[in-house]
Amino acid sequence: MDRYEVARRASGLPARFADRVPPDTLESIQLMNEGGEYGELTIELAASLVAHHVPVTAAERDDLLVLLEATDMPTDPIGKLNVRG
């Protein structure tokens, strides 16, 4: 995945999860998105989803994993996600 695809896919995450993360997390990942910090955005989002036991779909989990791998970020949170359906 090239950097443009990473940017395209990661930039949609704040809106996609806006109603499932705390306001402070949303603000933080929106700022990271604006700054082009896509790896940090993805790991912060994944960690928040784990910490708050937020349900995610298998497709959402897979999307997060692909982005973490593409940005050379740790993938540890993925195995702790609350995957439903």
Counted residue by residue, the chain has a size of: 85
Residues 68-77: what's their mean pLDDT? 97
pLDDT given for residue 25 in this prediction: 97
Between strands 55-56 and 82-83, the pairing is parallel
Q: pLDDT at residue 55 above 90? A: yes
* 5-47: pLDDT as tens digits: 999 999 999 999 999 999 999 999 999 999 999 999 999 999 9
Tokens linked to 29: 């990942």
Torsion of CA 19, 20, 21, 22, to 10 degrees: 70
What pLDDT, on the 0 to 100 scale, is given for residue 85? 73
Main-chain dihedrals φ then ψ at residue 17, nearest 5 degrees: -110, 10
Model pTM score: 0.95
